[in-house]
Structure 1
Amino acid sequence: MPPREVVEEAERVLRLCSACMYCDGVCAVFPAIAGKATVPLADVAHIANLCHGCRGCWYACQYAPPHPFAVNVPQTLAAARRLSYADFSRPRWLAAGFGRRAWAVAAVAGGVTLLALLLVLLTVPSGILFGVHRGDGAFYRVVPWGAMTTAAGLSFLWAVGSIAASTLAFWRSIAPAVPGKIVRRALGPALVDIVTLNNLGGGGHGCNDAGERLSQERRIAHHAMVAGFALTVLSTLSAALWHHVAGVRAPYGFWSLPVLSGTAGGVLMLAGIAGLLALEVRADPAPAEPGETRLNRVFLTLLGLVAASGLAVLALRETMLMGLALTLHLGLVTGFFLVLPASKMLHAPFRAAALLRAAIDRIASPPRRSGGE
């Protein structure tokens, strides 16, 4: 659907919802549109990212297809959400990753991985590449520390810079004109909503993750994935301290903080990713938006490969396959960071910004509930 039609359909659906408000209380979207006869373009982007895709409104809506109004809130807002990623992506040429070329993101990451493998095969003698290395600095006998940190570090800085610029552009578009003290008061409630995934609770009873049955499956899987990711970050930071402060080079013992947190993080990530991918397969396709489904599956698959390759390095680090496993992991990490700004990763900071805006609105203009409350 062309961008103009996406926005027009979102405006139509949101106008109907603001008049009906039967789903008031299901999630944060409906209080945000209460009483609005029209929805400005900036508010479409805000509301689309406020939607967590819990699908409760789809199964509750009396105007859903085959009704002539054909209201499909989850699908409509998913399309508008994907459009917002493209509109606010920085640099702007990254917008192509959020269209039909979503699989090109995976191709780029795969190409970088293959390039890393090729470079190592061409430059590292087979005796070293397939040798068994143990003890201090064993990894760096295959891939020099400088090459390892330069590739991962530069790609990481690119990802952080681009995502930060995209999020800032999005926030400037949706930020309300309110005093700074209201923004500061809203930070706490917004942080609670962000961390707890409150809007994946479907108003407290769970979401329609895979049909009309209510469940907390997606919320639990998402928490597992994020917790695992946080543990891998802890692993990386503690390894940096071990290396630069304690002067001890990798690989580290299994009971060390870098290895324990990295192992637990990798396992949790894979469990969460498997749960989310399973829900993608089982979910009712009617309220889904194909473009967002592609983004979800590509992102989860790439993140799963990064986690699995990291665990493979741990499992094979004292065997002749360590060199190939390490190269594969570094290639995947570098490729993943390079494509991150054109991936579904943008949903995290964009949704955080939308939740902050919603918290500000609740404080500045407390929502009126149905019945005049």
Structure 2
Amino acid sequence: MPPREVADEVERVLRLCSACMYCDGVCAVFPAIAGKATFSLCDVAHVANLCHACRGCWHACQYAPPHPFAVNVPQTLATARRHSYADFARPRWLAAAFGRRAWTVAAAVGAVTLAALLLVVLTVPHETLFGEHRGGGAFYRVVPWGVMTTAAGLSFLWAVTAMAASTMAFWRAIAPPASRRVVRRALWPAVVDIVTLRNLGGGGAGCNDVDGRFSRERRIAHHVMVTGFALTILSTVSAALWHHVADAPAPYPFLSLPVLAGTIGGVAMLIGIGGLVSVERRADTAATEPGETRLNLIFLGLLGLVAASGLAVLGLRETMLMGVTLTLHLGLVTGFFLVLPASKMMHAPFRAAALLRAAIDRVASPPRRSGGE
């Protein structure tokens, strides 16, 4: 759990917010704390992951610094949120990556990528590595299909297993006592909140992404990035079907589904990542937490490298640079999967679980509003 001083500060801030409730309606955090006078460590973990860092409460709060109460909800919950990733990390040794050792995540990806490049350089003949390969199976003349799928498959399986275990540990801690009927009724509202990023609407007018002006910049950039990622998944799945069902090994024509989806998806990911990084760099640091900002930038940087290297493979696939580019891409993908459970990617399943808990609470009992409404 978070250090005692972190937990104490979170409880102090949330008790003041629960008594005030001026920001009720800005996001899901305030209905979740309405009427509460005390907050357990599990409550803190739940509320911290409900917060989407829209910063609406920061600009609306009458008790924010320089007021003596010094209420800073975004920064306080960001600190608690980062600690929650470490608290519920499975295996537990992953917890160190969410603290001061966050840069080891990037270092691990770099090490895996360099190892892959070194292995290929030492084992693949020079004329093959730097040759111009065309036609079906061209990629596999540099890196055999079995090696490629084993490295990516095992690293992906590790990522899914570790992330699922961490998320289940988090859910067991925050899950409310509710009947199956209530949970079923809450599923659809929770899915809508998760997919639409409703809480990045800042109460409807938009978030205060950079300053006091309302903006939907971060929400749009996030949607663009996720859409691009979904297209790359479509590209991978369709390529697998072409390979195994149609017996047509890669590479494929530019106008084929795998290539079009991968190209559009990769470009969309880079646009979305660029938008998110821009917001992160320009945001008011008074309402952010350095540790979480570091996690955000490292994750976005690594994801951007994966997307950019994939596009480079498509662009250079019929040149002598294809072998090296393909190796770098495979190393980045494998390394990225290996560090995924120790990265800011954990915010996705944790936030989904927190939103499900909030939806269950809304179904189980009407939300308590300020003023007794």
Q: Same fold (TM over 0.5)?
A: yes
Distance in 1 (alpha carbons) for counterparts of 2:122 and 2:368: 67
Partner of 2:195: 195
Structure 1 length-normalised TM:
0.99
Asked if 1:135 is matched to 2:135, the reply is: yes
Which secondary structure does the structure 2 equivalent of 1:371 belong to? helix
Q: CA deviation at 1:6?
A: 1.1
Partner of 2:315: 315
Distance in 2 (alpha carbons) for counterparts of 1:59 and 1:189: 28
Matches within 5 A, 1:329-344: 329-344=329-344
Which secondary structure does the structure 1 equivalent of 2:286 belong to? coil
Q: Which amino acid aligns with 2:26?
A: V
Distance in 1 (alpha carbons) for counterparts of 2:190 and 2:36: 23
Partner of 2:355: 355
Distance in 1 (alpha carbons) for counterparts of 2:120 and 2:5: 48
Structure 1 segments, 4+ long, off by >2 Å, are none
Distance in 2 (alpha carbons) for counterparts of 1:46 and 1:365: 18
Matches within 5 A, 1:58-207: 58-207=58-207
Q: Structure 2 regions of 5+ residues with no counterpart?
A: none
Q: Which amino acid aligns with 1:234?
A: L
Q: Which amino acid aligns with 1:86?
A: A
Q: Structure 1 regions of 5+ residues with no counterpart?
A: none
Partner of 2:4: 4
Partner of 1:228: 228
Structure 2 length-normalised TM:
0.99
Distance in 2 (alpha carbons) for counterparts of 1:203 and 1:279: 19
The one-character-per-residue Cα deviations of 1:156-197 (angstroms, maximum 9, x if unpaired) are 000000000000000000000110110000000000000000
Aligned residues: 373
Q: CA deviation at 1:8?
A: 1.1
Sequence identity percentage: 80
Which secondary structure does the structure 2 equivalent of 1:172 belong to? helix
Distance in 2 (alpha carbons) for counterparts of 1:371 and 1:287: 27
Q: Which amino acid aligns with 2:66?
A: P
Q: Which amino acid aligns with 1:137?
A: G
RMSD of aligned alpha carbons: 0.9
Which secondary structure does the structure 1 equivalent of 2:6 belong to? helix
Q: CA deviation at 1:7?
A: 1.1
Q: CA deviation at 1:369?
A: 1.6
Distance in 2 (alpha carbons) for counterparts of 1:291 and 1:53: 14
Distance in 2 (alpha carbons) for counterparts of 1:209 and 1:69: 24
Distance in 1 (alpha carbons) for counterparts of 2:205 and 2:130: 54
Matches within 5 A, 1:274-353: 274-353=274-353
Partner of 1:272: 272
The one-character-per-residue Cα deviations of 1:247-281 (angstroms, maximum 9, x if unpaired) are 00000111111111111110000000000001111
Partner of 2:371: 371
Q: CA deviation at 1:85?
A: 0.3
The one-character-per-residue Cα deviations of 1:75-101 (angstroms, maximum 9, x if unpaired) are 000000001100001000000000011
Q: CA deviation at 1:371?
A: 2.7
Distance in 1 (alpha carbons) for counterparts of 2:248 and 2:68: 68
Q: Which amino acid aligns with 2:52?
A: H
The one-character-per-residue Cα deviations of 1:325-346 (angstroms, maximum 9, x if unpaired) are 0000000000000000000000
Distance in 1 (alpha carbons) for counterparts of 2:275 and 2:350: 23
